[in-house]
Structure 1
Amino acid sequence: MTRRAPHVVVVGDVVLDRDVDGRVERLSPDAPVPVVDVSGVRESPGGAGLAALLCAAGGARVTLVAPVADDAPGERLAAHLRRAVTLVPLPHEGGTRTKTRVRSGGQSLVRVDDGGPGTPGEPSSAVGEVLADADVVLVSDYGAGVTRDPALREVLSAAARSRRLVWDPHPRGGPSVPGAALVTPNLAEARSAASGDGRTSSASAGEPVSPDAPADVVAAHLADRWSASAVCVTAGAAGAYLARAGTEAVFFPATAVEGDPCGAGDQFAASCAVALARGALVPEAVEGAVADASAWVAAGGAEGFRARESAPSGEGRAAGAATRTGRPDVGEYRPWSEDPASLDRLAARLRADGTVVATGGCFDIVHAGHVATLQAARRLGDRLVVVMNSDASVTRLKGPGRPVVPAPDRARVLAALDCVDAVVVFDEDDPRAVLGRLRPDVWAKGGDYGGTPLPEAEVVRRHGGRVVLLPYLGGRSTTSIIQRSGLARASSTRSSA
């Protein structure tokens, strides 16, 4: 049975981003400035609009609550958004905020900002209804007034008491409402708030800290000051510091990458929101979001995302929302059948890197035999994807009390191995369906299957792949480990209790 996609409600300020590209071959006779011969104009949602698109790209069902002006740019912005998300517009007295970048040869020449702050109208009953249906609420503040509106803050405060709320602050915005599950300032924003400088510092009383205090100290201070369950201070290429009130901060290092960091904060907050909506713990969500933000930078940042979104074939879309830089694409360990399009995108990315090898199994209590097989399989090609039985599939195959280790933990262990490039969970009894979508060049299985018909072999060969049986490290099996340790009896006792 397929579960519904998690529902993320994004609340915040939206912007219409305009990129004007052209050639520069001469200077103006009126002033020593370049003349740009325009070759193309591209428009896309920015601000909370970008955050909403990133949540949708991550597999969530998204509703965006945002002020939308009644003007031509506002109409175009709304049309762009409605292609991917449900829009619940708030009345807006000002004009649509527009950021126009004029570029030539990949270099920005000037940015022109138009429109201005306006007063959001009273939230309608529809806003309360969508918030009540949310798995997670993401506040994406761009300093244009939404988070300073008293009526909307009251609605968000109520939501924080019954829903997990992620707050991505802005120096010109209001402070997080009390009870947020996670607040995600960058280091500059966090230091400003913690030192008593800026609007976001006024959430509650408390002694300010030094403006140059270390990130871990700032994170712990703000968790207490903002009455938030957790605060994660993002420190750019270094990584992120996660703290809860009264605790030491935990550091999550980032992968060193080169690229465009524009929009990385939006990607980080969106990844956290989607992961929490799927039931992840806050540290798990932050760990994945750090990797997603690195992948976002390496993939070209906001500009790269806009290019992928506008690609006619749709190939390459959503890179960054569920991609790990240099690490497996484990997503949130849901069965692939819940999001076949993501599996197709993964397959395309893997094939672009060369020969794709696939192997599979339950991997309940990973042991030396598993590792030897995975390492041998990886040597057969350029990329190794592991297809792994879901918990329900393992139970049907192995019986009550199995698996001992749940699917998210099994996938995380596999993902930590350097030889593994991707992990895919399947809910069926055998991997034929998932292999039919992946179409690997090589299907590798451990030698303990020798002489046993493999039902998936026909599927692999039908798509031009080959089947390879690998030497197996004898004397190791999960079943024997469980029997020797007594885990099976303990698990059965727990199941019947």
Structure 2
Amino acid sequence: MSGALVIVGDSMLDVDIEGSANRLSPEAPVPVVDAERMWQRPGGAGLAAVLAARSEADVVLITAIAGDAEGRSLTELLTGSGVRVIALPMAGSTVCKTRIRAGGQSVLRLDRGDGTAAHDTLPDEVAHTLADARAVCVADYGNGITAHPEIRKLLSRIGGRVPVVWDPHPRGAEPVTDLALVTPNESEAQGQSAESLRDRWDARAVCVTLGARGALLALRGGGSRHVPMPPGIGPGGPGDTCGAGDRFAVAAAAALGRGADALSATADAVAAASRFVAAGGAVGVSTAAAVSGATEPATTADKTLISRDIDAIRDRLRHRGGTLVATGGCFDLLHTGHVRLLHQARQLGSALVVLLNSDASVRMLKGPTRPVMPAEDRARVLAALACVDAVCIFDELSPEAVLERLRPDIWVKGGDYRAESLPEAEVVTRHGGEVVILPTVAGYSSSKLIASARS
């Protein structure tokens, strides 16, 4: 399997301002929201690309980006998430969507920016990238990318040999013909059946997503199937569905790129979108930003916990609410690669737990001369990092037993793993969590540092 997973579409900057609303304004009968936290993330096709980069090693985003401050912030968020960006010119300013939320519920959304993709001549890199793609996901948000004549020609040209998934938008252009899969949601279908949309777009398959009810899939040549949400996956409450459609389309494209058929890809996508919503939705891929005058929700003394009691850690952090992230490893000589991984992992949620291999398990994994630092010292160094909320030392070779009790919303690993190849992945996904693979920093290795010091 070669080539990148390519995302094509309209990007924007999404902002969430979270706080509490305990009183009404004296000027009008509207709630006053006291801002406590602010999060930023790429939106639209940018969010689809970030979600893809959490599980795919090579992700390219073809999108229009403005040269304003918001566009620069958007580019930094994308590249910092491991996405390679091919930026096309944009006419107008970056589209920004700000949600103001209180008590977990949206109070207001404020949209600004008028940016649309300029239909200039495409750089040669666009054609080469699409021709070499493993799969393509088109995330149309109605701002002009899918109406670009050259892009439409390129997508039509590759559609017969590269699986293309098209997530349409009511304000966007019609999908090109003979696509592997088109994925409108129930609202975008506007009362039309999956079969009629399949015929209208001359697609090989159309899947109408139904939220918690799964999806309806219509295949070329007849036949339709209802694909339900897998049992045991789903949020305790209504859940934040922002970004669920992007997660669905990306998962379907990735599955098709691995050789799955449309039915299997749809089942993978339904499960992935369900886990995404259960894990907190798009907030889990947001980057925290400062809110002037806001106070931290927890003091330093209340923040960091070192314990072998994973139940106590779980209960304490779950009581604080939000998305629980976990990662694990030996961390024998903490280096730049570790710190970057931990920082990125913490940005995926509201709290980060580090599962730390004990001295005995490190010896079994690394040999009799390791660790060079005892577990208690390694735990104290980790706990001193601002991005770490708790450290749990465990004795087993694999963290599966600890994860069975912790049940994080997101489990993070660094490196070149594939999520499905990790033995602990089954435990995480069975409890509604999601496995995220983050790229490591090349050239950093505890083993190499230790060997160099000893020599």
TM-score (norm 1): 0.57
Matched, 1:243 2:218: yes
Of 272, 282, 296, 2:252 maps to 272
Matched, 1:293 2:273: yes
Deviation at 1:262, TM superposition (A): 2.2
Give the letter for the 2:273 counterpart: A
Deviation at 1:29, TM superposition (A): 4.6
Matched, 1:166 2:141: no
Of 7, 23, 27, 1:10 maps to 7
The aligned counterpart of 1:91 is 89
C-alpha distance after superposition, 1:422-461 (max 9, x if no partner): 9x9xxxxxxxxxxxxxxxxxxxxxxxxxxxxxxxxxxxxx
Residues 277 and 316 (structure 1), Cα distance of their counterparts in 2 relative to 1, 3 Å cut: farther
Q: Secondary structure at the match of 1:173?
A: coil
Distance 1:105 1:314 in 2: 26
More off after superposition, 9-18 vs 143-152: 143-152
More off after superposition, 242-251 vs 82-91: 242-251
Distance 2:432 2:70 in 1: 43
C-alpha distance after superposition, 1:67-87 (max 9, x if no partner): 101100000001100122100
Q: Secondary structure at the match of 2:90?
A: coil
Distance 1:229 1:318 in 2: 35
The aligned counterpart of 1:399 is none
Of 108, 113, 117, 2:111 maps to 113
Deviation at 1:41, TM superposition (A): 2.4
Matched, 1:284 2:335: no
The equivalences for 1:410-449 within 5 A come to none
C-alpha distance after superposition, 1:285-335 (max 9, x if no partner): 11111111111121112223437699945558889xxxxxxxxxxxxxxxx
The aligned counterpart of 1:354 is 405
Distance 1:278 1:97 in 2: 33
Deviation at 1:60, TM superposition (A): 4.0
Give the letter for the 1:230 counterpart: A
Residues 60 and 177 (structure 1), Cα distance of their counterparts in 2 relative to 1, 3 Å cut: farther
Distance 1:311 1:186 in 2: 35
Of 302, 307, 311, 2:282 maps to 302
TM-score (norm 2): 0.62
The aligned counterpart of 2:142 is 143
Asked if 1 retains the 8 angstrom alpha-carbon contact of 2:16 and 2:101, the reply is yes
Deviation at 1:57, TM superposition (A): 1.2
Q: Secondary structure at the match of 2:265?
A: helix
Residues 222 and 265 (structure 1), Cα distance of their counterparts in 2 relative to 1, 3 Å cut: same
The aligned counterpart of 1:152 is 151
Matched, 1:126 2:101: no
C-alpha distance after superposition, 1:404-433 (max 9, x if no partner): xxxx9xx9xxx8xxx9999x9xxxxxxxxx
RCO comparison, higher one (Cα < 8 Å, 6+) = 2
Deviation at 1:277, TM superposition (A): 1.4
Distance 2:61 2:97 in 1: 20
Of 42, 59, 64, 2:61 maps to 64
Deviation at 1:353, TM superposition (A): 2.0
Asked if 1 retains the 8 angstrom alpha-carbon contact of 2:139 and 2:168, the reply is yes
The equivalences for 1:401-416 within 5 A come to none
Give the letter for the 2:245 counterpart: G
Deviation at 1:248, TM superposition (A): 1.5
Give the letter for the 2:263 counterpart: P
Give the letter for the 1:48 counterpart: A
Of 76, 84, 92, 1:79 maps to 76
Deviation at 1:100, TM superposition (A): 0.9
Give the letter for the 1:92 counterpart: M
Of 209, 230, 239, 2:205 maps to 230
Distance 1:43 1:65 in 2: 20
Q: Secondary structure at the match of 1:177?
A: coil
Residues 355 and 254 (structure 1), Cα distance of their counterparts in 2 relative to 1, 3 Å cut: closer
Residues 306 and 184 (structure 1), Cα distance of their counterparts in 2 relative to 1, 3 Å cut: same
Distance 2:199 2:167 in 1: 17
The aligned counterpart of 2:303 is none
Distance 1:304 1:100 in 2: 16
Q: Secondary structure at the match of 2:52?
A: helix
Give the letter for the 2:64 counterpart: P
Asked if 2 retains the 8 angstrom alpha-carbon contact of 1:117 and 1:145, the reply is no
The aligned counterpart of 2:302 is none
Residues 246 and 299 (structure 1), Cα distance of their counterparts in 2 relative to 1, 3 Å cut: same
Deviation at 1:40, TM superposition (A): 3.2
Distance 1:350 1:179 in 2: 46
Distance 2:20 2:348 in 1: 30
List alignment gaps of at least 5 residues for structure 1: 193-210, 320-346, 357-407, 425-497
Deviation at 1:271, TM superposition (A): 0.4
Asked if 1 retains the 8 angstrom alpha-carbon contact of 2:119 and 2:149, the reply is no
Deviation at 1:176, TM superposition (A): 0.9
Q: Secondary structure at the match of 1:354?
A: helix
Distance 2:118 2:400 in 1: 42
Distance 1:33 1:241 in 2: 40
The aligned counterpart of 2:195 is 220
The aligned counterpart of 2:52 is 55
The aligned counterpart of 1:40 is 37
Residues 61 and 349 (structure 1), Cα distance of their counterparts in 2 relative to 1, 3 Å cut: farther
Asked if 2 retains the 8 angstrom alpha-carbon contact of 1:54 and 1:318, the reply is no
Give the letter for the 2:281 counterpart: G
Give the letter for the 1:278 counterpart: R
Distance 2:28 2:431 in 1: 58
Deviation at 1:61, TM superposition (A): 1.0
Residues 28 and 241 (structure 1), Cα distance of their counterparts in 2 relative to 1, 3 Å cut: closer
Deviation at 1:34, TM superposition (A): 3.9
Deviation at 1:161, TM superposition (A): 3.6
Residues 276 and 261 (structure 1), Cα distance of their counterparts in 2 relative to 1, 3 Å cut: same
Asked if 2 retains the 8 angstrom alpha-carbon contact of 1:184 and 1:269, the reply is yes
Distance 1:32 1:311 in 2: 45
Deviation at 1:143, TM superposition (A): 1.4
